[in-house]
Structure 1
Amino acid sequence: MSTADLGLPVDVPSTALFTDQYELTMLQAALKAGTAERRSVFEVFTRRLPDGRRYGVVAGTGRVLDAVENFRFDAGVLRFLRERGIVGEETLDWLAGYRFSGDIWGYPEGEVYFPGSPIMRVEGSFAECVLLETVILSILNHDSAIAAAASRMSSAAGDRPLIEMGARRTHELAAVAAARAAYVGGFASTSDLAAGFRYGIPTVGTSAHAFTLLHDRERDAFQAQVNTMGRGTTLLVDTYDVAEAVRTAVEVAGPELGAVRIDSGDLLLVAHRVRQQLDELGATNTRIIVTSDLDEYAIASLAAAPVDAYGVGTQLVTGSGHPTCSMVYKLVARAESADPKAPLVPVAKKSSGGKLSIGGRKWAARRLDEQGVAEAEVVGTGPVPDGLVDRQLLVELVKGGEVVAREPLDAPRERHIAALANLPLSATQLSRGEPVLPTEYATGGTVG
């Protein structure tokens, strides 16, 4: 898997520096203390959902797998670390041969999660697992935030397709990741060509106001676009007077005009007027696409409007007010010694202020009610109760350092649709509320 597939420039050979310095200083200290090779279990989870959200969406798993494969300390990276004096020569020698050889389990991409859900579990030596903390969190926190916003917008849109068009509102690499996460969360297409190239997401786009302003007359701009893109193109009709633009658009393209796009004004009112005008002009099959800084609430408010598709940018790529999921990566179990056969013991941070962690390697399952609808997220250690064995959520992603769960992007997209359908109906309500499923903890048994 190349770095281009990860959403990186092709001249970046490694993901090893997508980390914080303290990962390496911890490694160096553990190597000197003789504890670096202790078998360890780290888990990714969040203690709470963003305020008012009823579920989270796991996204970025495929990118995490790419990042783990590309986590290599090549000559350039080692030279940088040596020149900065970040770690010593013995540690650099260890890093030169670094290859993750452990196991990773996690919720499959597209699945929903709740507070305390062990979204990802990383097992191996302390040394090899601790280095992956930052890159795993940076991917999952960003992508899951975007996918959650996309999911809410998709629920608000119903059967109407959504177009991701936020590339100009975020970092150029984040834009590619955001388009991917939005697709997982239910968006149908993107305007970002890098996302289309790297992930196979359908791409769309026609023209902006600048194209209309370039020409002496609006009619000339429409004619030029139709001449090159055909009558099925989408014409932007709010540069000057909307009613006049719609009339001109139909005169130029005929009733076969594919769509008109509205990017400003009272979208509810304007959409109704444009629909009536299009029908009166015989363009009954011409679709109406609206843009203009939409979020899930604006989309929901347009449910009764004659709108056929929505284009969303800023609010999507910023997580609609929640640009991160506050996921953490915590050590939950470690061996008593470096002996590969040494038993695991649960460990957990003990602190106040809402940062409580629960020790022990976790399993997770979703309990259903008599109607087959999810009623609780059950997280536990030790044996899995018989009634939940077939409802476990974690799947094997990496085994012995080898990725075993690669899948096409349509798979998590379809999985997310199925996961939402399995939740109570209140999950898709946009009003503020608690998580739609409670998290129950079932601890006991032995860890190992």
Structure 2
Amino acid sequence: MTQPPAGLPVTVPSTALFTDHYELTMLQAALRAGTAHRRSVFEVFTRRLPEGRRYGVVAGTGRVLDAVENFRFEPALLDFLRERRVVDEATLDWLADYRFHGDVDGYREGEVYFPGSPILRVEGSFAECVLLETVILSILNHDSAVAAAASRMAVAAAGRPLIEMGARRTHELAAVAASRAAYLGGFSSTSDLAAGFRYGIPTVGTSAHAFTLLHDSEREAFTAQVESLGTGTTLLVDTYDIAEAVRTAVEVAGPGLGAVRIDSGDLLVIAHRVRQQLDELGAREARIVVTSDLDEHAIASLAAAPVDAYGVGTQLVTGSGHPTCSMVYKLVARADGDAPGAPLKPVAKKALGGKLSVGGVKWAARPTDERGVAEAEVVGTGAVPPELADRQLVVPLMREGRAVAREPLREARERHVRAREGLPLSATQLSRGEPVLPTRYL
């Protein structure tokens, strides 16, 4: 395992084209109409949680801050827009000097959320805010989906370590983001070195079936691995015959064998057999790691099995059936006129087909009962009731275009544990159900 003290700085390229074509055409029209400068407030929220989920997990906030700070139109990007005739020259001139100078507020990363929670609020001119919609939603929808799946898997694992190993099951860049979100949600390590390099996440890994198949016998493969990595390594024992492989593994590594990994078969039955065999052979401290396309339900089914750690890939990086959180980015208030300092006016799209939008700049708070357990997600506009003043969830993230809330990933990880523990006990049930907290609007 390798674990640098913190993630290393990585140069982030421009994120300006991580947007949709119509964001720029809206900008051009607003510039021509003279409304582009109007003070505006956009909010990110979701109208519902994925089916059966009882809470959501805010993840990707740190990446959003990086993306906003690096949202700038370099000469090559402007040339591309000019060549494609996406917008006119006046708009290109405006984009050449683009920097976000507004404010961003929102839930802290690792916090839980519910339908209607104002997860992120972006305030500035319409022109500078509207361009950020797609990149913000892209990050938050993906990372929060993975973090929610990771959180459910962490609950199912009940303290046993979880290894993220889904890089080969998704886009190479999404894999790095997924690893970050998984670590935030409760995973302890990753197989992806890029994630380890960028975010300081512990990395692990030993060998695959190909290494065993490379050698003339399983014994030769195990011997080569132990001689290279030491007796504390993890040997993969399901290439041929598991019982024979376990026997060979202990003969080669001795009773100090670190672990064996099982990647196929009836894991519940096999894990019991392997544990008994390891104990009989004197390798009582050897751990059992299982992989094989696990999700939270499969992990929960192994609760009574002598398993010491789980490796999860496909189901994790795809959100365990819910690869997005359906978050939206909506204009909720704008200046009531063109005069500088004009007051904000609540605005909202007319609700059709269940698409409820509530206008106005919102605050959110989460009151608790006498035991400290959350009772509701309270969302309102206007003044915050005094009794909720110390329960507010929305905090400053950026001021005048500069991040003011960057933090180590481990802090968001620890925050999530606290937030989840503050929910009613039914939040940790894996069965389908409604959000564990009701959303109340004031």
TM-score when normalising by structure 2: 0.98
Superimposed CA distance per residue, residues 114-167 of structure 1 (whole angstroms, 9 cap, x where no aligned partner)? 000000000000000000000000000000000000000000001100000000
Q: Give the alignment of 1:26-45 within 5 angstroms.
A: 26-45=26-45
Q: Give the alignment of 1:341-380 within 5 angstroms.
A: 341-380=341-380
For 2:176, the equivalent position in structure 1 comes to 176
**For 1:359 and 1:261, how far apart are their aligned partners in 2?**
53
Q: Give the alignment of 1:246-261 within 5 angstroms.
A: 246-261=246-261
For 1:222, the equivalent position in structure 2 comes to 222
Cα deviation, residue 370, structure 1: 2.0
**For 1:6 and 1:435, how far apart are their aligned partners in 2?**
37
> What's the Cα RMSD here?
1.1
**For 1:266 and 1:339, how far apart are their aligned partners in 2?**
70
**For 1:82 and 1:353, how far apart are their aligned partners in 2?**
38
Cα deviation, residue 340, structure 1: 2.7
For 1:391, the equivalent position in structure 2 comes to 391
1:21 equivalent to 2:21? Answer yes
Cα deviation, residue 6, structure 1: 11
For 1:446, the equivalent position in structure 2 comes to none
| AA matched with 1:386 | P
| AA matched with 2:163 | I
For 1:322, the equivalent position in structure 2 comes to 322
Q: Is the 8 A contact 1:58 1:112 kept in 2?
A: yes
Superimposed CA distance per residue, residues 180-238 of structure 1 (whole angstroms, 9 cap, x where no aligned partner)? 00000000000000000000000000000000000000000000000110000000000
For 2:294, the equivalent position in structure 1 comes to 294
Cα deviation, residue 337, structure 1: 2.2
Q: Is the 8 A contact 1:161 1:187 kept in 2?
A: yes
Q: Is the 8 A contact 1:334 1:344 kept in 2?
A: yes
Cα deviation, residue 108, structure 1: 0.3
For 1:155, the equivalent position in structure 2 comes to 155
Q: Is the 8 A contact 1:23 1:131 kept in 2?
A: yes
**For 2:410 and 2:340, how far apart are their aligned partners in 1?**
39
In structure 1, list runs of 5 or more residues that go unmatched.
443-448
Cα deviation, residue 112, structure 1: 0.1
Cα deviation, residue 7, structure 1: 11
For 2:277, the equivalent position in structure 1 comes to 277
**For 1:7 and 1:425, how far apart are their aligned partners in 2?**
39
Q: Is the 8 A contact 1:156 1:296 kept in 2?
A: yes
2:334 match: secondary structure: strand
Cα deviation, residue 97, structure 1: 0.4
Superimposed CA distance per residue, residues 15-62 of structure 1 (whole angstroms, 9 cap, x where no aligned partner)? 000000000000000000000000000000000000000000000000
**For 1:171 and 1:319, how far apart are their aligned partners in 2?**
14
**For 1:7 and 1:120, how far apart are their aligned partners in 2?**
25
In structure 2, list runs of 5 or more residues that go unmatched.
1-6
1:375 match: secondary structure: coil
Q: Is the 8 A contact 1:6 1:66 kept in 2?
A: no
1:338 match: secondary structure: coil
Q: Is the 8 A contact 2:8 2:200 kept in 1?
A: no
| AA matched with 1:416 | H
Q: Give the alignment of 1:397-408 within 5 angstroms.
A: 397-408=397-408
1:397 match: secondary structure: strand
1:41 match: secondary structure: strand
**For 1:101 and 1:338, how far apart are their aligned partners in 2?**
19
Q: Is the 8 A contact 1:7 1:173 kept in 2?
A: no
Q: Is the 8 A contact 2:8 2:199 kept in 1?
A: no
Cα deviation, residue 13, structure 1: 2.8
| AA matched with 2:241 | D
**For 1:372 and 1:216, how far apart are their aligned partners in 2?**
61
| AA matched with 1:300 | A
**For 2:57 and 2:231, how far apart are their aligned partners in 1?**
39
For 1:333, the equivalent position in structure 2 comes to 333
1:90 equivalent to 2:90? Answer yes
Cα deviation, residue 352, structure 1: 1.2
**For 1:243 and 1:339, how far apart are their aligned partners in 2?**
79
**For 1:340 and 1:324, how far apart are their aligned partners in 2?**
39
Cα deviation, residue 369, structure 1: 1.2
State the number of aligned residues.
436
Q: Is the 8 A contact 1:35 1:337 kept in 2?
A: no
| AA matched with 1:147 | A
**For 2:439 and 2:424, how far apart are their aligned partners in 1?**
15
**For 2:51 and 2:67, how far apart are their aligned partners in 1?**
30
Change in 2 beyond 3 A, CA 1:241/1:184? same
Superimposed CA distance per residue, residues 393-422 of structure 1 (whole angstroms, 9 cap, x where no aligned partner)? 011000011110010110100000000110
2:79 match: secondary structure: helix
| AA matched with 1:166 | G
Q: Is the 8 A contact 2:106 2:121 kept in 1?
A: yes
2:333 match: secondary structure: strand
Cα deviation, residue 386, structure 1: 0.7
| AA matched with 2:29 | A
Q: Give the alignment of 1:431-442 within 5 angstroms.
A: 431-442=431-442
Q: Is the 8 A contact 1:141 1:324 kept in 2?
A: yes
For 2:412, the equivalent position in structure 1 comes to 412
**For 2:225 and 2:8, how far apart are their aligned partners in 1?**
35
Superimposed CA distance per residue, residues 56-107 of structure 1 (whole angstroms, 9 cap, x where no aligned partner)? 0000000000000110101011000000000011000000000000000000
Superimposed CA distance per residue, residues 302-334 of structure 1 (whole angstroms, 9 cap, x where no aligned partner)? 000000000000000000000000000000000
Instruction: List structure 1 runs of 4+ shifted beyond 4 angstroms.
Output: 5-8
**For 2:88 and 2:8, how far apart are their aligned partners in 1?**
30
